[in-house]
Structure 1
Amino acid sequence: MERLVLNKLLEWKNSEFRKPLLLKGVRQVGKTWILKEFGKRYYKNTAYFNFDESPEYKQFFETTKDVKRILDNLIMASGQDIEKNNTLIIFDEIQDCPNVINSLKYFCENAPEYHLACAGSLLGVALAKPSSFPVGKVIFLQINPMSFTEFLMANNDLNLVNFMDSIDEITPIADAFFNPLYEKLKMYFVTGGMPESVLMWTENKKVQKIQEALSNILQSYEADFGKHPNVNEFPKITLIFKSIPSQLAKENKKFLFKVVKEGARAREYEDALQWLVNGQLVHKIYRCNKPNLPIAAYDDLSAFKIYLSDVGLLRRLSQLDPSAFIEGNRLFTEFKGALSENYVLQALVNQFEVTPRYWSQNNPPYEVDFLIQRANDIFPIEVKADTNTKATSLKKYKELFKEQTKLRVRFSLDNLRLDEDMLNIPLFLADKADKLISLALKQRQL
């Protein structure tokens, strides 16, 4: 497989301001594979230390903060070679190793010639705990599920990848590219972007293997829920996680605790929900009161939507059978288009630094699925799961916020086009949203 994040790792390797690296991402998203593959491609050798497989290595960090002594002990205990500037040192499964995490400060300050990259399951949860953390001494890199583009690359559809990369104007896409991209996107909705699921399809072309892979991942997540320090939170985390398909099946996808359990109150369940957010199993998207900068300053903290980290996991958790693949647009439209929204959100978080928000009003009811902050502009986005592209909410949004609205964006199954200030992007081009918005803004200036 090919992961585009390898390019960012190469930038880190060559940076004169390089610091120890911390990879963050949901369990089984491929963090370990990415680091090992990066070491194989760009270093003379790789020294790999797994603190879950070899817990005795933790002792080397308990008695000293001297980097040279730590490395000498690791070399002697493991038999691996470590050379300055020529070795990628990988510390894996560090989430339960506070002394290892704290040592990154001394690697940064006293041994910058060593290239050190770290990863861990539920690392976001671990870092949320009160402990000594080397603030300012590490670089974070987010690893997300494989994008649709990476799925195409894994499936050896390089002609389609090259075509998407070559788009340099807003003009309709020829059927020779539109139709296969549409069909491939349906398959991506089946597999999602978890590497094991994608591998089952690209290597075996057996849907049952995809189902098994996704089921195993979901079961491993549920097993992780028991790792919450408060055992009373375990059933709450499980209930919230399993309620997500029901939450997204509502016309108004605002998260409601009463959907989790009758009579449930926010204060009883908010810690469990935050655990899922910290573990990066879900995306929490706040309602924005008005599209001003910075967008985070206008969050309505009482209203939010919850999506899964991966569209394939959402499909499997929803128990939507892959046979929907052959039923026209059903995969896109099922339970109020939630799969399509989840997919678009995944594409957006890969491209924009600021987490998307959404906008809504109650009387009369209007809702714009996402708001994205791009530089100093905010763009409203609607996701339409088919070719019915009436955009009443986008129209209302423009009426209310005309001065702030340079461009409105709609994802649908219609072709690529720009109608005045309305940019329609085919769902399969969601990975190119940033580029297409830039092209549309330039085209409107002409």
Structure 2
Amino acid sequence: MKRNALRDLMSWKANAERKPLVLKGARQVGKTWLMKEFGKTQYKNYVYFNFDEEDELKSIFETNKNPQRIIELLSLISGSKILPRDTLIIFDEVQECPAALNSLKYFKEKANEYHVIAAGSLLGTLLAQPKSYPVGMVNLLDIAPLTFDEFLEAIEPNLFIYYNSIQKDQHVEEIFHNRLLETYNNYLIIGGMPECVSSWIRYKDPARIIQIQRELIEVYENDFSKHNGKVNSGRILMVFRSIVAQLAKPNEKFMYGAVREGGRARDFEEAIEWLVSAGMLNRVYNVSKMEHPLAAFDKLEQFKLFVFDTGLLKYMAGVDNSAILLKADYQFKGPLTENYLLQQLRGQFEVVPRYFSDKTSEIDFVLQHGTEIIPVEAKGGEDKSAPSFKRYVLEHEPEHALRFSKRGYRKDGFITNIPLYLATKTKELL
């Protein structure tokens, strides 16, 4: 499967100011495959070291701080000479060896001609702790599940060619619109986890997808107790398992009392922080004003939490495939659509999306593009009703106002209706 992140890796390789690179992201999103594919296609060769599988590797880093000596020893272990610029050095599951993570600092300072890339599960939680890694000495790259365009290219390559050619204000013919909507529905069910996508390509068996999703959730829940450090693992689990109920509420705002009766911020703050750092949940803050710069207006006590993969959220909520495929109006349609939209929008803009909510109105998402503020409405079907959104647009006449739905791509007064399947092209279409 082609991954957009390969472009980011190639930019990193070409950058004269390059530092050792650390890949962050939840377990099983394809970090290992990506690093090896990058080594295979962009270098003369690569050497791969896994700190989870090869315990004796740790001693090299625990007893040496000289990168040249480390390179010599790694060359001996891998059986091939490690050359500056020509060999990609891969450290996997690097969280198992803090000394190896720390060695990236010495590579940056004394041997930056060597190309080093590291990854591991739950690295985000480690990077969130001060002193646990060489701050300022590494480049960071977030790796997420497949976005809709990556999914489409993997399962419908011919349709992807058409999709890729769609430009701003272009009419999307009905035959393509319907086929793309069909693929969007499949994406809601399968999601972007690489194992689910490759299983669908091979077997086209929904039962297998459910089985993989069940196993992934079990793996994640086991991780909570294994790698949580000082954070109470029971509380992490409670927060994670409350997400479906939180999103099913009319305003979707995260409520501590919904995790446990009488629950307070101080009981669950650390658990939420852990899940967000681990890449398991995406947090969206409410803003008091829809003005530039958005971050200045964050209400830090008011936020929504979404799951990092829509297919996993669909599984956790127990939404039946038939509800999605038969155009039914089911209870969880709104939250699932918003989760999908956030997953597609997150990497496109410098500033993470926010939402706006007060006593009289609610805007699903607010984007900042340069100094421009863009209101966004998410609709799971073809419905156009959105009083708060329309009122805001009439009062403020923003340059762009976006409604994502299953309707065709067209301008409707001040509002641009973008089909849900084009969400990954949002920035291009502005």
- TM-score scaled by structure 1? 0.93
- For 2:262, the equivalent position in structure 1 comes to 263
Check whether the contact 2:58–2:100 (CA below 8 A) recurs between aligned residues. Answer: yes
The match for 2:348 among 328, 346, 351 is: 351
Cα distance in 2, alignment partners of residues 3 and 203 from structure 1: 18
- AA aligned to 1:390 is S
Cα distance in 2, alignment partners of residues 318 and 63 from structure 1: 49
- AA aligned to 2:367 is I
Greater alpha carbon shift after TM alignment, 243-252 vs 78-87: 78-87
Q: Which SS does the other structure have where 1:136 is aligned?
A: coil
Cα distance in 2, alignment partners of residues 193 and 433 from structure 1: 19
- For 2:131, the equivalent position in structure 1 comes to 131
1:19-418 pair list within 5 angstroms = 19-155=19-155, 157-226=156-225, 227-230=227-230, 233-330=232-329, 334-362=331-359, 364=360, 366-398=361-393, 402=396, 405-418=398-411
Is 2:3 the counterpart of 1:9? no
- For 1:429, the equivalent position in structure 2 comes to 422
What's the Cα RMSD here?
Answer: 1.5
Greater alpha carbon shift after TM alignment, 422-431 vs 102-111: 102-111
Cα distance in 1, alignment partners of residues 363 and 237 from structure 2: 29
- AA aligned to 2:277 is N
Cα distance in 2, alignment partners of residues 138 and 257 from structure 1: 35
Check whether the contact 1:87–1:114 (CA below 8 A) recurs between aligned residues. Answer: yes
Greater alpha carbon shift after TM alignment, 96-105 vs 366-375: 96-105
Check whether the contact 1:329–1:386 (CA below 8 A) recurs between aligned residues. Answer: no
Cα distance in 1, alignment partners of residues 286 and 215 from structure 2: 33
Greater alpha carbon shift after TM alignment, 77-86 vs 262-271: 77-86
Check whether the contact 1:250–1:336 (CA below 8 A) recurs between aligned residues. Answer: no
Cα distance in 2, alignment partners of residues 139 and 184 from structure 1: 35
Stretches of structure 2 lacking an aligned partner (at least 5 in a row)? none
Post-superposition Cα deviations, 1:119-176, rounded to whole Å, max 9, x if no partner, equal 0100000111232532222111111110111111111x22322222222231432111
Greater alpha carbon shift after TM alignment, 268-277 vs 389-398: 389-398
- AA aligned to 1:126 is L
- AA aligned to 1:395 is K
Shift of 1:49: 0.6
Shift of 1:399: 5.4
Shift of 1:396: 2.8
Check whether the contact 1:417–1:423 (CA below 8 A) recurs between aligned residues. Answer: yes
Q: Which SS does the other structure have where 2:347 is aligned?
A: helix
Post-superposition Cα deviations, 1:47-76, rounded to whole Å, max 9, x if no partner, equal 001111112212111222110111112222
- AA aligned to 1:350 is G
In 2 relative to 1, CA 334–159 (structure 1 residues): closer, same or farther, beyond 3 Å?
Answer: farther
Cα distance in 2, alignment partners of residues 325 and 390 from structure 1: 21
Check whether the contact 1:43–1:88 (CA below 8 A) recurs between aligned residues. Answer: yes
Check whether the contact 2:284–2:354 (CA below 8 A) recurs between aligned residues. Answer: yes
Greater alpha carbon shift after TM alignment, 107-116 vs 423-432: 107-116
Percent identical pairs in the alignment equals 45
Shift of 1:109: 1.9
Cα distance in 2, alignment partners of residues 26 and 377 from structure 1: 31
- AA aligned to 2:372 is D
- For 1:440, the equivalent position in structure 2 comes to none
Post-superposition Cα deviations, 1:246-298, rounded to whole Å, max 9, x if no partner, equal 11111101011111111111111111111101101000100011122221111
Check whether the contact 2:166–2:172 (CA below 8 A) recurs between aligned residues. Answer: no
Post-superposition Cα deviations, 1:352-386, rounded to whole Å, max 9, x if no partner, equal 12111000111x3x111111111111101010111
Shift of 1:336: 4.7
The match for 1:420 among 394, 409, 413 is: 413
- AA aligned to 1:412 is S
Shift of 1:392: 1.0
- Number of aligned residues: 429
Cα distance in 1, alignment partners of residues 233 and 135 from structure 2: 30
- AA aligned to 1:228 is N
Cα distance in 2, alignment partners of residues 293 and 93 from structure 1: 39
Check whether the contact 2:393–2:414 (CA below 8 A) recurs between aligned residues. Answer: no
Cα distance in 1, alignment partners of residues 390 and 310 from structure 2: 28
- AA aligned to 1:347 is Q
Q: Which SS does the other structure have where 2:306 is aligned?
A: strand
Q: Which SS does the other structure have where 1:254 is aligned?
A: coil
- AA aligned to 1:107 is F
Cα distance in 1, alignment partners of residues 392 and 325 from structure 2: 36
In 2 relative to 1, CA 131–203 (structure 1 residues): closer, same or farther, beyond 3 Å?
Answer: same
Cα distance in 2, alignment partners of residues 412 and 399 from structure 1: 20
Shift of 1:329: 4.5
Q: Which SS does the other structure have where 1:284 is aligned?
A: strand
Shift of 1:310: 0.5
Shift of 1:301: 0.6
